[in-house]
């Protein structure tokens, strides 16, 4: 299918947003709502493409957004959910009110990823045998269902097979088996992941209260 370009390149502004542009966007959305994003810039009198407006609003201008540093608790939630869900920033963001997928993604790449890598290195040096055993057992659990899922067409660039070690190995024998047998694969995998992250969040909150 041939797609029309997101925006006509001619005359549309790119790069950082100015205060004036922000104000125009905010007041337009407050007055009329965003409606169809692609039509919004023209209606609001902005020389931006709809996508750019949407991103700006969702990630920075929306009143629901919580700015500032991530708390320890938030960090922990991101780490755990990333272990379960992989790079599904949007799904992870739904568990962190006020945080956007972009913010979480940036935070992951600039802080948590490095920290995780560092701790991995430390663990490897401190206990290489255990590391090797863990990796090997993880492969055993993961390899079979992953191959099957891929062969069945359940994986895609949007929903790649999950490589996080969280619950995936546990899921391999029962639920994934059922999923592989069905036709609407990725949705079910999503639901499964959704469920598991909910389970985590519930247990996490219970744990926090204790």
Binding site for DNA (CB under 7 A): 1-4, 6, 13-17, 35-39, 48, 50-52, 54-56, 59-60, 87-91, 101-103, 105-107, 109-111, 114, 156-159, 186-187
- Decide whether 4 or 136 has the Cβ nearer to DNA: 4
Torsion-angle region of 15 (φ positive above 0: left; ψ -120 to 50: alpha; else: beta): left
Least distance from DNA to the Cβ atom of residue 182, Å: 15
CB of 66 to DNA, least distance (A): 12
**In angstroms, what is the minimal distance from the CB of 138 to DNA?**
20
Dist. CA 188–CA 177, nearest whole Å: 12
Please say which residue, 109 or 139, places its beta carbon nearer to DNA. Answer: 109
- Residue closer to DNA (CB basis): 114 or 139: 114
Q: Is the dihedral of CA 30, 34, 39, 40 positive or negative?
A: positive
As measured in angstroms, the least distance from the Cβ of 174 to DNA is 24
Q: How far is CA 86 from CA 41, 79, 91, in A?
A: 34, 10, 10
CB-nearer residue toward DNA: 2 or 210:
2
Cα–Cα distance between 128 and 119 in angstroms, integer?
A: 13
CA dihedral in degrees (127, 129, 135, 137; nearest 10)?
A: -130
């Amino acid at each position: 299918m041939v797609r029309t370009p997101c925006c006509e390149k001619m005359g549309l502004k790119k790069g950082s947003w100015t205060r004036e542009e922000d104000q125009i966007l905010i007041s337009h959305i407050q007055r009329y709502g965003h409606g169809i994003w692609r039509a919004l810039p023209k209606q609001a009198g902005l020389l931006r493409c709809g996508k750019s407006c949407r991103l700006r609003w969702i990630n920075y201008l929306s009143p629901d957004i919580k700015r500032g540093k991530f708390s320890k608790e938030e960090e922990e939630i991101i780490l755990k959910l990333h272990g379960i869900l992989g790079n599904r920033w949007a799904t992870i963001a739904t568990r962190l009110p006020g945080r956007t997928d972009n913010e979480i993604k940036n935070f992951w790449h600039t802080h948590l990823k490095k920290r995780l890598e560092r701790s991995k290195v430390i663990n490897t040096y401190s206990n290489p045998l255990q590391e090797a055993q863990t990796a090997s057992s993880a492969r055993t659990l993961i390899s079979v269902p992953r191959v099957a899922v891929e062969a069945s067409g359940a994986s895609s660039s949007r929903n790649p097979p999950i490589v996080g070690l969280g619950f995936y190995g546990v899921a391999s024998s029962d639920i994934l088996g059922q999923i592989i047998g069905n036709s609407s694969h990725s949705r079910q995998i999503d639901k499964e992941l959704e469920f598991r992250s909910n389970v985590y969040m519930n247990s996490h909150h219970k744990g926090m209260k204790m």
